[in-house]
Structure 1
Amino acid sequence: MPRTVDRRSLLLALGAAAVLAGCGAPPEPAGETPAPSPTPEPAPTATPAPTLPPVPGPRPGPNQVISHGPAPSGPADRRIALTVDDGTAPDVVAGYVAFAERSGVHLTFSPNGSYNRAWAPHAPVLRPLVAAGQVQIINHTFTHRDLRKIGDKDRRDELERNDEWVVRTFGATTRPYYRPPFGFHTPEIDGLAGELGYTRTVLWDGSFSDSQTITPEFLMEQARKYLQPGVINLGHANHPTILGLFDQLTDLIRERTLTPVTLDEMFGTSRATG
């Protein structure tokens, strides 16, 4: 005998089915299409970091002593070479490196490898600046000995050992520039340097006079006297006086519309050729 379906139960079942059907997503309104997903922005292309050229071999030749930049090419040529020797004080080396990094000022460093503990920690910062041409490193001998008081073998060792240290630490040769310690040199010493590829003996015609401890006032007096177009200026990374004066020196350079350059930039030489 067929089972009788209770009318009330049937109505409840139909109502539940309708509720479940209503839980689905509502149909799209007629005439409308879904908004397209936004296209992601392409990732910016990173500018490749400058790379250091292969280290060239020595290019022996006659030596030339230089203490001033070449004749200006015109009134707008207001180049000046700021050079920094030694590195006996790690905090002063760190200050100069930080100054170069934040200001973009072009500098030429003349360090001694015997002060490796002060210089080596800054190789990760200095290598890219050297590769970009903002910083140059020249030879100042390994131990800062008076070259007049030692023989040719030791002179050769002082120059070659320091260049090997610079190449190992900063990735570029110091040739063709060397600065004799204390500025003491002879034609015989310069001739030997030329045989090793150091065809430029670099002296100076301006100085902060800071090889010894001086006052900030005296250093700025020297700066106002010597920071002029064409000057090769000498400073030292040995005493802390300079650390509080970088902003004042930058202001002076701007006021005089000077363009700090490396020795390579001043004389048209290159690390790629030595």
Structure 2
Amino acid sequence: MLHRRCGFIFLTCCFTFLSKKIMYYRMKKSIFLIFCLVLLLSAGYYANLADPEELFIYIKPEKNQEKPKESPKDENPPEVLPEIVWGNRNKKQVIFTFDAGSGIQSLDRILSVLEKYELKGTFFITGKWAEQNPESLRRISSAGHEIFNHTYSHPYLTRTEDEKIIEELNMADEIIYQITGVSTKPYFRPPYGDRDARVFEKAFFAGYRAVYWTIDVLDWKEDQGFTKEQSKARIMDNLKPGTIYLMHIGDDITGDILDEVFSEIISQGYSIVSLSEGVE
């Protein structure tokens, strides 16, 4: 009987002890929950009082996240896209330019005359001509003459789509660079002189400025009966400071008259300069 009473008392004490422990932990948990609730309410209150501009969240970017690309500084062309038609008109000098789009009939004589007078010429080369005449192009480049862009296939640019204009210039530049190691930028000459504001704009985005001419010598008309005397007259009758002359590598007239023309121009006190020098 005594053993039963002792066992009952022991169980009662254990139950009482456990009940107190459970109540203690429940109270602690309740206090903790109340404390968290107070913090949340306080944060919401002060957030409403804070200046919204002072509140921010920093999110660390992922390693592979790309930085937004900046817009090019010169993404818009200037309102006026002038082409070069004259050189410096304040100096007694003229510029001879030679287009290469087909044939090499006058090339040897042109290079020989330039060497004779110790001059640097200016050549506008098409990509196709460069592909067909790589050794001739290397000769021009190795002699230190200027080489600029005349498009790849010599199209009428005003009839050419925007993307194609840029492609024509880029293709020619790439081919010429592969052969010579020299870029054709920053000048190009529109084939046939065919150009407008849209062509200027697209060329600008490709990195080029258009170069026209002051006087077309019309050497390319030799198949139509145009004579070398007529071409020579066009040069000498229009001799003025800053004149830019257009001639061609693929016509015999240029090679026939160049030496004589240079001699007469120099005798009149003029200098013959490259395009880069002449537009300064």
TM-score by length of 1: 0.67
Looking at structure 1, the residues matched to 240 and 180 of structure 2 have their Cα atoms a distance apart, in angstroms, of 30
- Which protein is richer in helix relative to its size? 2
Counterpart position of 2:261? 249
Looking at structure 1, the residues matched to 195 and 259 of structure 2 have their Cα atoms a distance apart, in angstroms, of 35
Unpaired runs of at least 5, structure 1: 1-58, 269-274
Q: Does the Cα contact within 8 Å between 2:97 and 2:123 map onto a contact in 1?
A: yes
Secondary structure of 1:81's counterpart equals strand
Secondary structure of 1:127's counterpart equals helix
Secondary structure of 1:211's counterpart equals helix
Counterpart position of 1:67? 85
Matched ranges for 1:1-274 at <5 A: 62=78, 63-72=81-90, 77-116=91-130, 119-130=133-144, 135-198=145-208, 200-213=209-222, 214-268=226-280
Q: Does the Cα contact within 8 Å between 1:167 and 1:173 map onto a contact in 2?
A: yes
Q: What RMSD in Å do the two structures reach over aligned CA positions?
A: 2.0
Q: What percentage of residue pairs aligned between the two structures are identical?
A: 24
Looking at structure 2, the residues matched to 70 and 124 of structure 1 have their Cα atoms a distance apart, in angstroms, of 29
Distance 1:124 1:192, change over 3 A: closer
Looking at structure 2, the residues matched to 215 and 190 of structure 1 have their Cα atoms a distance apart, in angstroms, of 34
Looking at structure 1, the residues matched to 109 and 171 of structure 2 have their Cα atoms a distance apart, in angstroms, of 26
User: How far apart are 1:117 and its partner, in Å?
Assistant: 5.8
Is the deviation greater in 151-160 or in 239-248? 239-248
Structure 1 consecutive aligned stretches of length 4 or more whose deviation exceeds 3 Å: 59-63
Distance 1:102 1:120, change over 3 A: farther
Looking at structure 2, the residues matched to 124 and 163 of structure 1 have their Cα atoms a distance apart, in angstroms, of 14
Aligned length: 201
Deviation digits for residues 16-72 of structure 1, max 9, x if unmatched? xxxxxxxxxxxxxxxxxxxxxxxxxxxxxxxxxxxxxxxxxxx87543311011341
Q: Does the Cα contact within 8 Å between 1:83 and 1:235 map onto a contact in 2?
A: yes
Looking at structure 1, the residues matched to 96 and 268 of structure 2 have their Cα atoms a distance apart, in angstroms, of 15
Amino acid of the residue matched to residue 98 of structure 1?
S
TM-score by length of 2: 0.66
Counterpart position of 1:30? none
Which of these two proteins has the greater Rg computed from alpha carbons? 2
Unpaired runs of at least 5, structure 2: 1-73
